Amino acid sequence: MKSYVFPGQGSQFSGMAKDLYEKSSLAREMLDQANTILGFNITDIMFAGTDDELKQTNVTQPAIFLHSVVLSKCLRDAFKPDMVAGHSLGEFSALVANGTLKFEDALRLVSARATAMQKSCEVSPSTMAAILGLEDDVVEKICAEVLGVVVAANYNCPGQLVISGEIAAIDDACARLIAAGAKRALKLQVGGAFHSPLMMPAQQELEKAISETTFNTPICPVYQNVNAKATSNPQDIKKNLIAQLTAPVRWTQTMEQMIADGATKFIEAGPGKVLQGLVKKVNKDIEAVSA
């Protein structure tokens, strides 16, 4: 069974989707339409922007979404997913790919999500850190012992868990985790504490936008971040998508469940190859390729 997976924030690069724009009339049409919907020429930044320009949340999220969705649409009849999933932001790309959301509606939601998250980041100093080489339950236990807000945010693969929270709490947790045997505790260059309770204001803002958007019955199940389960019910998809902003991304569990449900090939649609690497760390015998 073919599983299409879609990357999240961090996969952006200067020149992204430029080849698609130059080769495909469909890509040109979609990306020109995106410029109009967003109210600025995001393609200028995608094709030739600096790393700093591409790191701005209001650019990064729509840019990765656009690269992913345009690429999957350009596959035309060859695009036949049996199941889909996306890492954090990538879940919106997955929901266009399986027909739950129209392209235009999803792009507006991604833009609203990015703006809301940026606002939440500005409320209190916060960050994230990657913890390598510890069991998940050890990381969870130590985070629970730290004063302040710090939680497990991204279960990326066995031995790699990202924590998220207030800067002081992250620093304390990192020191304790190194003492407990972590190989590395690396603070990430991100704008704030994504997938933590500190994103609650953004979640409330996004909930309004999602509630006003039409969600259709998909052509195949989406495995959502919050519970790593296959979902085809539009109302459940909505509910899980709202919860996603403050809940952890259960990517390890998602990959494991998709494999258990029959996935034999993972195809990453979007910039970069991060998800292919994570699939291999979950199960080295599973095929993982770029779209």
Give me the active site residues, please.
88, 195
Is the Cβ–Cβ distance between 147 and 178 less than 8 Å? no
Sheet arrangement for strand 150-157: 150-157, 160-166, 126-132, 184-187
Distance separating alpha carbons of residues 144 and 121, to the nearest angstrom: 22
Is the Cβ–Cβ distance between 127 and 260 less than 8 Å? no
Distance separating alpha carbons of residues 52 and 124, to the nearest angstrom: 21
Burial code (b: 16+ CB inside 10 Å, e: under 16) for 227-264 equals bbbbbeebeebbbbbbebbbbbbbbbbbbbbbbeeebe
